[in-house]
């Protein structure tokens, strides 16, 4: 691996590590600040929450806001493993929160994140889709989709 590729890999690993350390303390702002304006989030599966959210505004309004509106406790997401190669960083992590209806939502994630110039431009999220369906209410927009 060249010095340039190594430096890109290490820079991107450091960026995502900082974001995940903040999320493990329940701090969401570093994640929000790291999203590029053209950020795209792919949530795998066939749940009411699954799909592709394109653009920072759509991600925040159609995914993050309705999701966090269901949480009744402080959300944390703690990394278990972070691997990086060039523009891609892979995070294996565990979320933890209780919904307003009292259900535990402690999902396990594998997120593949692509960065460009220090900003996240794409995230593909692999998770326990059965837990999504059993612990979360469908988003309001799913009824009209």
| Residue 110 pLDDT | 98
Q: Tell me the whole-structure pTM to 2 decimals.
A: 0.93
The predicted structure's pLDDT at residue 103: 97
Give the per-residue pLDDT at 32: 96
Look at residue 133 and tell me if it is in a domain. yes
Sign (positive or negative) of CA dihedral 63, 69, 70, 75 = positive
Task: Give the CATH number for residue 133.
Answer: 3.10.450.50
Question: Which stretch of DSSP H or E encloses residue 77?
Answer: strand 76-85
Model pLDDT, residue 14:
98
In a domain, 12, yes or no: yes
Distance between CA atoms of residues 3 and 9, nearest Å: 10
Question: What is residue 71's predicted lDDT score, i.e. its pLDDT?
Answer: 98
Model confidence pLDDT, tens digit, residues 4-35 = 767 999 999 999 999 999 999 999 999 999 99
Q: How far apart are CA 79 and CA 77, in angstroms?
A: 7
Kindly give the parts of the chain with pLDDT less than 70.
1-3, 5, 144-145
28 domain-assigned: yes
| Within a domain: 145 | no
Q: Give the range of the structural domain holding residue 104, as residue numbers without chain letter.
A: 3-140
**Structurally, how many domains does the chain consist of?**
1
Please give the pLDDT value at position 143. Answer: 74
Q: What is the pLDDT of residue 144?
A: 62
75 within some domain? yes
């Amino acid at each position: 691996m060249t010095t340039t590729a190594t430096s890109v890999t290490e820079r991107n690993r450091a960026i995502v590590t900082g974001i995940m350390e903040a999320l493990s303390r329940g701090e969401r702002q570093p994640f929000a600040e790291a999203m590029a304006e053209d950020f795209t989030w792919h949530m795998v599966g066939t749940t009411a929450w699954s799909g592709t959210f394109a653009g920072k505004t759509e991600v925040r309004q159609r995914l993050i806001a309705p999701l966090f509106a269901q949480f009744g406790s402080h959300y944390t997401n703690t990394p278990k493993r972070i691997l990086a190669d060039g523009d891609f960083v892979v995070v294996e992590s565990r979320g933890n929160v209780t919904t307003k209806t009292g259900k535990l939502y402690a999902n396990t994630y594998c997120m593949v994140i692509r960065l460009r110039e220090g900003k996240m431009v794409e995230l593909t999220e692999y998770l326990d889709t059965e837990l999504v369906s059993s612990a979360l209410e469908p988003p309001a927009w799913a009824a009209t989709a």
